[in-house]
Amino acid sequence: MMKKNQQTPAVLSISKVHQLLNLKKPSNPLVSVINFADINIDLEEIGNILTYNFYYISLIKNCDGFKYGQQHYDFDEGTMVFIAPNQVIKVQEGRYTNAEGCMLLIHPDFFKGNPILTTIKNYGFFSYAANEALHLSAQEEEFMIGILKNIDKEIKSNIDRFTQDLIISHIDLLLKYSERFYSRQFITRKIVSNDILIKFEHVLDNLISEDNLSANGIPTVQQVASEFNMSPNYLSDLLRSYTGLSTLQHIQNRVIEKSKELLSTTSLSVNEIAFSLGFEHSQSFHRLFKSKTNQSPQEFRERFN
């Protein structure tokens, strides 16, 4: 038994999670569904800093003991959280006594030999912050619980040559519907999203002013996202849902607009313009301009002479 306030060592396996939660050994050491109703342990007994080397997907409600990053979150309604391997979670003191739902744990090795090993990395919501969790409608919640139950049944059934493929198919379905429901979430929060889009334009105007570019360089996606207290992937996915462009594409397009203005209205050399826009190397500016306009900066300038 670990003493209070002692940090939990990194959790390196799904089996270790079962052990820490006083649950029986998983049917499969690489994939497991854990029902929150089966967890009845004082979290102080196991410490509270957890590092996973597997994918964590949870559908949970009536839980008030979860901290991700530096903030604490309450999940009263059906909410899904997605965490990629090697992220750090802090669980608050208390019990899961009233929590409903379940968690799905998948070690990447379970996907070996299947394309999902690569495609799962393309789902941006695995790096969203907890306040950007997926909030489900009652119908969506019922649907997702059904998929999770099917995964659990397959895991606990007798293993045959179809088992792994069927489990992976259900996981793939879960991820695709999660992406769909996130798209719905962006739409149903349209008023909030519109406010973000308006603020986004102002933020870019400020960050990509000539003075800021020359002093601080081209802003990163992380810097822009921090202006909204959002994770970079969440902001990019939100922007993409409304504009078709990611945060990076918006930044690059705005830099190109600024460069066109300077190329057409000033006598600064192309190299001077590149440096004034925050490029450390003029070649980088040439490559970006050519990729966006299909012509070099000099060719663009010649149109105005």
CATH number for the domain that contains residue 60: 2.60.120.280
Span 121-150, pLDDT tens digits: 999 999 887 678 898 888 999 999 999 999
Q: How many CA within 13 A on the CB side of residue 120?
A: 26
Q: What pLDDT was estimated at residue 184?
A: 86
Task: Specify the 3-state DSSP secondary structure of 84.
Answer: coil
In a domain, 235, yes or no: yes
Three-state DSSP class for 28?
A: strand
Do 204 and 183 have their domain in common?
A: no
Residues 180 and 206 grouped into a single domain: no
Same domain, 250 and 132: no
Q: How far is Cα 91 from Cα 21, in angstroms, rounded to an integer?
A: 13
Domain count, the chain: 2
- pLDDT of 46 reads 53
Q: Per residue in 17-43, pLDDT tens?
A: 888 888 999 999 999 999 988 887 665
Radius of gyration, alpha carbons of the chain: 24
Secondary structure E strands in the chain: 31-35, 49-51, 55-61, 63-68, 71-75, 79-83, 88-91, 100-106, 134-135
In this structure, are 182 and 265 located in the same domain? Answer: no
CA distance 186 to 241: 7
Kindly give, in sequence order, each residue whose CB lies less than 8 Å from that of residue 227, ignoring residues fewer than 6 positions away: 199, 203
Q: What are phi and psi of 9, to 5 degrees?
A: -65, 160
**CB-CB contact of 233 with 127 (8 Å):** yes
Q: Do both 43 and 170 map to the same domain?
A: yes
pLDDT at 80: 92
pTM for the complete prediction? 0.73
Same domain, 25 and 97: yes
Structural domain including 20 reads: 14-188
Tell me the CATH number at 216: 1.10.10.60
Residue at a domain's end among 162, 188, 214: 188
Of 167, 188, 209, the domain-final residue = 188
pLDDT at 73: 45
Is there a single domain that holds both residue 176 and residue 114? Answer: yes
45 and 1 in contact (C-beta within 8 Å)?
yes
Same domain, yes or no: 196 and 181: no
